[in-house]
Amino acid sequence: MRTKKDESGPGGELQFELKYCERCGGLWLRPAGGGQVYCAGCAGQMAELPPASHEVGRATMPKGPRWGVDHCDHDEEAQADLDAAEVWHE
């Protein structure tokens, strides 16, 4: 197998790096500097999937009024639970 000069190591040998598959988590070796993120098995399965149907862009949160944020009765209940937990630990 022939390789480009910049892909080989000092003695002409190939360089590999340990990589985990970003789909299954399995470990495998890929050529140093390679861009593959999936193992061979998962790469085939991922290639069979249809392309993403959404546009890639900046995710934004919907804007609008925040109902009920200022009027919350849960703070008093949470404080009572914390006080009870402190008594139990003493």
pLDDT in tens, 32-71: 988 999 999 999 999 999 987 766 677 777 777 777 665 5
Which of 2-6, 54-58, 85-89 tops mean pLDDT?
Answer: 54-58
Q: How much is the pTM?
A: 0.45
Tokens matching residue 37: 């993120």
pLDDT surpassing 90 at residue 17: yes
Percent of the chain with pLDDT over 70: 59
Structure-model confidence comparison of residues 12 and 7, the more confident one: 12
Read off φ and ψ for residue 54, nearest 5 degrees: -110, 155
Helices marked H in the chain: 40-48, 74-89
Residue found by looking up tokens 């914390």 in the block = 82
The domain locations on the chain are 13-49
Enter the tokens of residue 75. 């703070």
In this predicted model, which residue has the larger pLDDT, 72 or 20? 20
